[in-house]
Amino acid sequence: MFSLEGAWYVECVGDDVDHSGVASFRQLAQANADESVVFAWITFEPKAHRDQINEAIFAVPRIIGMIHANAQPSYSKRLEYAGFDTTVTG
């Protein structure tokens, strides 16, 4: 959906997320052994681009239906998000 609005969306399912001696993605997500860890990110142009795309996405009826509290799966309580500046490209 985001790519249709001009952003680049990537979603990955954990394959090698359990490591001893460091905080693993499974620990950070508080995932049980029978759960998968999903990591995703969206690349926007400047923040104004992000704001424009978010406004368009959250006006889509299907998305509106998904964000109602009763429609969200339980794992959404463990959802984290943040913004980052690019420091290295290659």
pLDDT tens string 1-41: 566 567 777 777 777 777 778 777 778 788 888 888 887 88
Query: Mean pLDDT across the stretch 58-77?
Result: 68
Confidence of residue 47 (pLDDT cuts 50, 70, 90): confident
Give domain limits for the chain. Answer: 3-78
CA distance 23 to 15: 16
Q: Where are the beta strands (DSSP E) in the chain?
A: 8-13, 38-43
pTM of the model: 0.56
Residue 69 has pLDDT above 80, yes or no: no
